Amino acid sequence: MLTQPLSLPNGAVLRNRLAKAATSETLATYANHPTPNLVRLYRRWASSGIGLLITGNVMIDRRALGEPGNVVIEDECDLPILTQWAHAATDQGAAIWVQLNHPGKQSTKGLNASNLAPSAVPFSKDLAALFDTPREATTAEITEIIQRFGRSAAICKKAGFSGVQIHAAHGYLINQFLSPHHNQRNDEWGGTPEKRSRFLLAVYAEVRRQVGSDFPVAVKLNSADFQRGGFTEEESLAVVRALVDAGIDLVEISGGTYETGVAQPIKASTQAREAYFIEFAEKVRAVVPVPLMVTGGFRSVAGMNAALRSGAVDVVGLARLMVIDPDAPTALLQGQDSKQSVRPIKTGIKQIDGLGLMEILWYSLQLKRIAAGGNPRPDESGLWALVKSLVISGWGTFRTRRLRA
């Protein structure tokens, strides 16, 4: 099953059913230009035989960064290196989609001059020390952001990337618009589930307008936010229906935010099936025929093939495994399990270990090693990774702000 090609609604074909889901790479310069390290990293991944590579956290506005070292695509100044990045994958037969994102309020203190969101809702107490309370976005700002998503997608197409993925999950701006917890507006952008989904649908429409019907456009969407008063499964199903009606090519299902973490306590039945979000995928499959990608929880070839055979999943997404074993698809496509297994990353600090942010920091360090031409360290201490990441992030924030001064 993993080796079978997949045809998307617009006619594009993925060579097999394995995909690297988006990872937060932070391998740009502090002025947010892509670097040869990204080319090297994606060439390594593409050489594994994987069908699809999805880049992580490419921002559409240099004024709105999620982390120091984010790539920003807002004009054509980096077209030569973007073209190299795209060809690092496509020259080896892999498709490569750029994940386009806007962090909204989910940007650490001091990085941006200010952060906007649908509404001025502060973070939970656990994260209030790391993230400022945002200001409410104006209608003009919302319109500009929609246009920026489309412009960035058009540049990606020109550079030779195979498609784009709109990030509407994990607590970033589009997810904030979808969530009644974060979006407390009463204008055309909030107040009802239909109005809260209008921003995502407008972003998709503008992207499609600028790239045309022959270019794959996907969306990463939360099945739920796992947060009181947040985005629910029922609302997510309604959004998927609307996206299918609008012509989306693929939906990747995920869940959670920085505040809640991505993986919630897993039922034994779900753990046995490996895929964290497969039960929601089955609900989606019951109402719409859109190609579905599920990321999270997969551990074995048997589990991956079982998910594909069930019909609920069309693409198996791997993220953390691709970081600790960048060559994993070579084994998986031959029917063999990876020699590495994903483990919880712990620092021993309870307040830190409960946050989804910790794992992002640890895995980002491993990505940097691969991008430098080395190999990851799967047994690296979580506490050491936290300390090192905080130093790097602090220096990166300082440098980023200095470059804008």
Give the model confidence (pLDDT) of 304-337 as tens digits: 999 999 999 999 999 999 999 999 999 999 999 9
Query: Residue 70 above 60 pLDDT?
Result: yes
pLDDT in tens, 200-221: 999 999 999 999 999 999 999 9
pLDDT-above-90 percentage for the chain = 73
Angle, vertex CA 78, rays to CA 74 and CA 82, nearest 5 = 100
What pLDDT was estimated at residue 229? 65
What pLDDT was estimated at residue 297? 86
Is residue 43, in this structure, part of any structural domain at all? yes
Query: To the nearest whole number, what is the mean pLDDT of the chain?
Result: 90
Confidence of residue 301 (pLDDT cuts 50, 70, 90): very high
What pLDDT was estimated at residue 265? 46
What CATH number corresponds to the domain at position 237? 3.20.20.70
What pLDDT was estimated at residue 275? 74
Is residue 19, in this structure, part of any structural domain at all? yes
Is residue 209, in this structure, part of any structural domain at all? yes
Angle, vertex CA 308, rays to CA 22 and CA 2, nearest 5 = 70
Average pLDDT value for residue range 161-178: 96
Average pLDDT value for residue range 374-384: 83
Amino acid sitting at position 206 = E
Is residue 1, in this structure, part of any structural domain at all? no
What pLDDT was estimated at residue 362? 82
With beta carbons less than 8 A apart as the criterion, state whether 141 and 70 touch. no
What pLDDT was estimated at residue 264? 47
Average pLDDT value for residue range 251-261: 75
Query: Residue 243 above 90 pLDDT?
Result: yes
Is residue 224, in this structure, part of any structural domain at all? yes
Q: Which range among 9-13, 39-43, 382-386 shows the weakest confidence by mean pLDDT?
A: 382-386
Query: Residue 93 above 80 pLDDT?
Result: yes
pTM score of the predicted model: 0.91
Boundaries of domain holding 347: 6-404
With beta carbons less than 8 A apart as the criterion, state whether 51 and 16 touch. yes
Angle formed by the axes of helices 79-90 and 36-46, to 10°?
10
Confidence of residue 151 (pLDDT cuts 50, 70, 90): very high
Q: Which range among 15-19, 40-44, 269-273 shows the weakest confidence by mean pLDDT?
A: 269-273
pLDDT-above-70 percentage for the chain = 87
Is residue 378, in this structure, part of any structural domain at all? yes
At CB < 8 A and 24+ separation, what contacts does 182-189 make? Answer: 182/104, 182/105, 182/117, 182/118, 182/119, 182/121, 182/230, 183/118, 183/119, 184/118, 184/119, 184/121, 185/118, 185/119, 185/136, 187/139, 189/118, 189/139, 189/142
Number of domains in the chain: 1
Confidence of residue 125 (pLDDT cuts 50, 70, 90): confident
Confidence of residue 230 (pLDDT cuts 50, 70, 90): confident
